[in-house]
Structures are given as C-alpha cells and as structure tokens.
Amino acid sequence: MTATPTTPSTEFERTHCGRCGGSGSYSYCQMHGSTCFGCAGTGKKLTKRGAAAYAWFKEQRTVRADQVVAGNRIHSGGAKFTVTEISEPHVGAYVGAERQPVMYVTFANADGKFRYSTMLDSKVEVLPRTEADRVAALRAAFAYQDTLGKMGQPLKNKAKVSAD
Ligand SMILES: [Zn+2]
C-alpha cells in the first residue's frame, strides 16, 4: 500500500486584504459587482514573502517551449491541456527583420484537436504529472518561503534554485 501524499498544511503566506479589510466585498461597480478585486473576494492576499515564494514556485515549473514533450499537461493562455504532439522546429514568423524558428504544439480537448505555433524560447508552465509531484513542488516552495525575509528577499544563500 502506498500512502496518499497530502497537501502540506503550510501555504503561501497571506494577509488580510487592505482594500476590503478582509471581507472580500467592496462597493459595487459595473465590472466586478461587489467582489473586491484586490483579493478576488477571498478577503486575503499574498504578502510580499508569499508572492515571492509563489513566483518561485511558478518559475520552477516553467520551461522553454522546446523542452515540452508529448504527454505534458501544460498551462497556456489561461487554459490547461495535454500536449499530444510537438513538431520539429521550422522557420517561421518574422520578428523584426529576421525569420525566427517556431514549432507547433498540438493538443486535444473536448472540442477537438488544435495546434498553435510558438517561439522555441516561449515560457510554458508544465503542470505536475502526479499528486505526489504536486505536493513535492509545494513543499519545496514552502521551504523556499521560509528562507525569505518579510519583503520577499532571500535571507540566506541557502535557497538554491535547482530545476529538479
Ligand atoms: Zn479584498
């Protein structure tokens, strides 16, 4: 029997939202209704330390587009999907005066099969494959958070950034 990994009880450090005083509501406006957009209605927002750790967490799962492989679940353009195919790089769009190499990323979802063209060095967020991977990544990020000062600055050189 394998134990199911549980999400660490720590979280990215948050504090009461100063805009709404922690209530999550703010005076009504056309665009957001009465939901406070400082905290999206949660009443809490990341502290500087929490935001720095969260940015680091995102950075850890971000790779260049040409490092993505079929089977990766990625987060791109506000959507999450599974990559089914990666093309070889080929000469593509003009950027300034020169043509730049691009590649196609193919994915499938309920609406069918799609592909988009991307620069090789575009940033892509690769989602963890398993729950255990997700939990391990969170633990690493919380450990990193512990090495940061109140303003989100590293306190020690111990916070070594490693890709794996
Ligand atoms: Zn708020």
CA of 49 to the centre of ligand 1 (A): 18
What own/partner pairs with CB < 8 Å and gap ≥ 24 does 105-108 have?
105/65, 105/68, 105/74, 105/76, 107/74, 107/81, 107/82, 107/83, 108/81, 108/82, 108/84
Cα 71 to middle of ligand 1, angstroms = 38
Provide the pLDDT confidence category of residue 135 given band limits of 50, 70 and 90. Answer: very high
Domains, the chain, in order of start with CATH, read 12-46 (no CATH), 48-61+128-164 (no CATH), 63-127 (2.30.30.30)
What are the tens digits of pLDDT across the range 62-86? 999 999 999 999 987 778 889 999 9
High-pLDDT (> 70) share of the chain, %: 90
| CA distances for 87 relative to 3, 5, 104, 114, 129, angstroms | 38, 35, 5, 13, 22
Which CB contacts under 8 angstroms, 24+ apart, belong to 41-48?
Answer: 42/17, 43/16, 43/17, 44/14, 44/15, 44/16, 44/17, 45/14, 45/15, 45/16, 45/17, 45/18, 46/12, 46/13, 46/14, 46/15, 47/13, 47/14, 47/15, 47/150, 47/152, 48/150, 48/151, 48/152
Distance (Å) from CA 152 to ligand 1 centroid: 21
Distance from Cα 149 to the centre of ligand 1, integer Å: 24
Q: Mean pLDDT throughout 134-143?
A: 95
92 and 99 in contact (C-beta within 8 Å)? Answer: yes
Specify the pLDDT at position 6.
78
Q: How many whole angstroms from 99 Cα to the centroid of ligand 1? A: 45
pLDDT tens sequence across 9-56: 788 999 999 999 999 998 888 887 899 988 999 999 999 999 999 999
Q: What is the pLDDT of residue 2?
A: 60
d(CA 73, CA 146): 29
Please write the tens of the pLDDT for every residue from 103-128.
999 998 788 889 988 889 999 999 99
Contacts of 56 (CB under 8 A, 6+ apart): 141, 144, 161
Q: How far apart are the first and last CA of the chain?
A: 26
Residue 1 has pLDDT above 60, yes or no: no
